[in-house]
Amino acid sequence: MTTALQGIKVLEMTRFIAGPYAGSVLASLGADVIKIEPPDGDVVRSFGPMKAGVGLPFEMMNHNKKGLVIDLKKPGGREVIYRMVKDADIVLESSRPGTAERLGVSYERLSEINPRLIYCSISGFGQDGPYRGLGGVDIVAQAMGGLMGITGEPGGEPVKVSQPIADYGCGMWAVIGILAALAARQHTGRGQRVDSALLDTPIAWSLWEASRYFGLGEVPEPLGSSHRNVAPYRAFLCADGRHVVIGAASQALWEKLCEALDVQALLAEERFSSPPLRVRHRAALEAELKPLFRRRTSEAWLSVLNAASVPCGLVKRYDEAVDDPQVKRRKMVADVHHSKAGPLSILDVPVYLSDTPRVPVSQAPGLGEHSTEVLEGWGFRDDEIQALLAGNVVV
């Protein structure tokens, strides 16, 4: 099977979430990703839940890779990287800025060895700026990036988005940067550095808030499930205790919604007569609609709204979401038989290419599982490998 990134070799020296997630995306698109870990391994290996001693979060973020352990603090460790990087296309690293330099595996050093190398650094705050040297994790990025200041209910405490989206998003931006650098290399023949930061992600995604802040001088406040620039666009409680979301994002959809709800009188109200006016009078509009939704069950309202072509959906529990027939049709969940943990379900990468499909999901590597195999494949002689193993440079 031909894959999109077939033949692309990646050395991934990352931990936690953003870097490993980026590596798993590249691996799923066909790149040969070698996860290089220190002797104590990626800390996420110890995160639960566990199954037969296997950390399931680690499996989610490290599938389709091969595992190699190198102790860069031992004499000879960095030399292994120097040899491998000659044939590598991409290096992924996620250490705090300055660490790679101290370990001798900086962009400057490795690009001297291989000028075609694409070197991606993932960090909390980026490779420059006043916060360069600070450590960053997802919740800090969500807080300092303004996301926790606009989520949750009005007047409530700051709320973190449950999923670590600054981590995941940073990993996605890293992949986008890497793919752009690969395309540029076809024209220039040279590699370059990609700088991806957790803090940048919630800022880059705050398009609605930016439009109001920079355009109107408004400081965005939390709105619960409401939309900043569209109304009605939120979740409504129904008679069965379930919530239904609607997205009447245009004048035509607003009119269809009023017809479906049998509240044509709202169409005649001046304060609701245009999209900007409905946003301005959002609280009053939602107060009109909330009692209506409590009159019927979620199933009944979904039937009515779908028949009227009004975008809508049930607020689902997680089990309902992943078991949904549409999700199954998209093959977002892959069944894997793990050599230690047995049957596992792993989330796949949602990239669908007609001619170069993604790689079937395989289990994440055990710590140092492929060390000998990887070094053999990268041209190390058997006596060299044995010497590295004997010195605990490679495990």
Q: What's the CATH number where 179 sits?
A: 3.40.50.10540
**From CA 347, how far away is CA 50, in angstroms rounded?**
16
Q: Which of 269, 290, 314 finishes a domain? A: 314
Cβ proximity of 55 and 83 under 8 Å: no
**From CA 267, how far away is CA 176, in angstroms rounded?**
44
39, 172: one domain? yes
H-run or E-run covering 172 = helix 165-188
- Is residue 179 situated within a structural domain? yes
- Is residue 128 situated within a structural domain? yes
- Is residue 213 situated within a structural domain? no
Q: Which of 267, 286, 314 finishes a domain? A: 314
pLDDT for residue 1 is more than 90: no
pLDDT for residue 355 is more than 90: yes
Provide the domain count of the chain.
Answer: 2
280, 373: one domain? no
156, 254: one domain? no
The pLDDT score that the predictor gives to residue 109 is 98
- In a 13 Å sphere around the CA of 121, the CA atoms on its Cβ side amount to 22
- Is residue 3 situated within a structural domain? no
DSSP annotation of 191: -
145, 256: one domain? no
pLDDT in tens, 301-330: 999 999 999 999 999 999 999 999 999 999
Cβ proximity of 176 and 212 under 8 Å: no
The pLDDT score that the predictor gives to residue 372 is 98
**From CA 58, how far away is CA 46, in angstroms rounded?**
8
Average pLDDT, the chain: 97
> What is the rounded average pLDDT of the residues 206-216?
96
Task: Starting at the earlier edge strand, list the strands of the sheet with 233-237.
Answer: 233-237, 243-247, 312-314
Answering whether pTM is above 0.85, one says yes
pLDDT in tens, 82-115: 999 999 999 999 999 999 999 999 999 999 999 9
230 Cβ partners below 8 Å, 6+ apart?
Answer: 247, 248, 249, 275, 278, 279
175, 110: one domain? yes
80, 168: one domain? yes
List 9's β-bridge partners, or say none.
Answer: 32
Residue 306's alpha-carbon distances to 257, 309, 310, in angstroms, are 10, 5, 6
173, 280: one domain? no
**From CA 375, how far away is CA 355, in angstroms rounded?**
32
- In a 13 Å sphere around the CA of 188, the CA atoms on its Cβ side amount to 13
Query: Phi/psi at 64 (nearest 5 deg)?
Result: 70, 20
List 51's β-bridge partners, or say none.
Answer: 54
Cβ proximity of 138 and 166 under 8 Å: yes
Active site residue 324: no
Could you tell me the residue range of the domain that residue 282 belongs to?
233-237+243-314
H-run or E-run covering 34 = strand 32-37
**From CA 24, how far away is CA 31, in angstroms rounded?**
9
List 32, 71, 167, 200, catalytic entry: 167
In the chain, the percentage of residues whose pLDDT exceeds 90 is: 99
The pLDDT score that the predictor gives to residue 336 is 97
**pLDDT band for position 73 (cuts 50, 70, 90):** very high
Only one residue has tokens 């019927």, namely 296
260, 369: one domain? no
pLDDT in tens, 135-191: 999 999 999 999 999 999 999 999 999 999 999 999 999 999 999 999 999 999 999
Task: Report, in this order, helix, strand and coil percent for the chain, each rounded to 5.
Answer: 40, 15, 45
135, 270: one domain? no
268, 138: one domain? no
Work out whether strand 90-93 and strand 9-13 pair parallel, antiparallel, or are unpaired: parallel
- Is residue 322 situated within a structural domain? no
Q: Record the tokens describing residue 306, joined without a space.
A: 């779908």
295, 352: one domain? no
**From CA 323, how far away is CA 325, in angstroms rounded?**
6
160, 268: one domain? no
Residue 168's alpha-carbon distances to 172, 178, 201, 202, in angstroms, are 6, 15, 9, 11
Which residue type is seen at 77? G
- Is residue 211 situated within a structural domain? no
Only one residue has tokens 């200041």, namely 149
Work out whether strand 66-69 and strand 90-93 pair parallel, antiparallel, or are unpaired: unpaired
Q: Which of 314, 349, 370 finishes a domain? A: 314
In the chain, the percentage of residues whose pLDDT exceeds 70 is: 100
CA neighbor of 249 nearest in space, from 227, 230, 225: 230
Cβ proximity of 358 and 29 under 8 Å: yes
Helices (H) and strands (E) in the chain, counts: 17, 13
CATH code, 303: 3.30.1540.10
Q: Please count the other Cβ atoms lying within 10 Å of the Cβ belonging to residue 245.
A: 15
**From CA 71, how far away is CA 391, in angstroms rounded?**
10
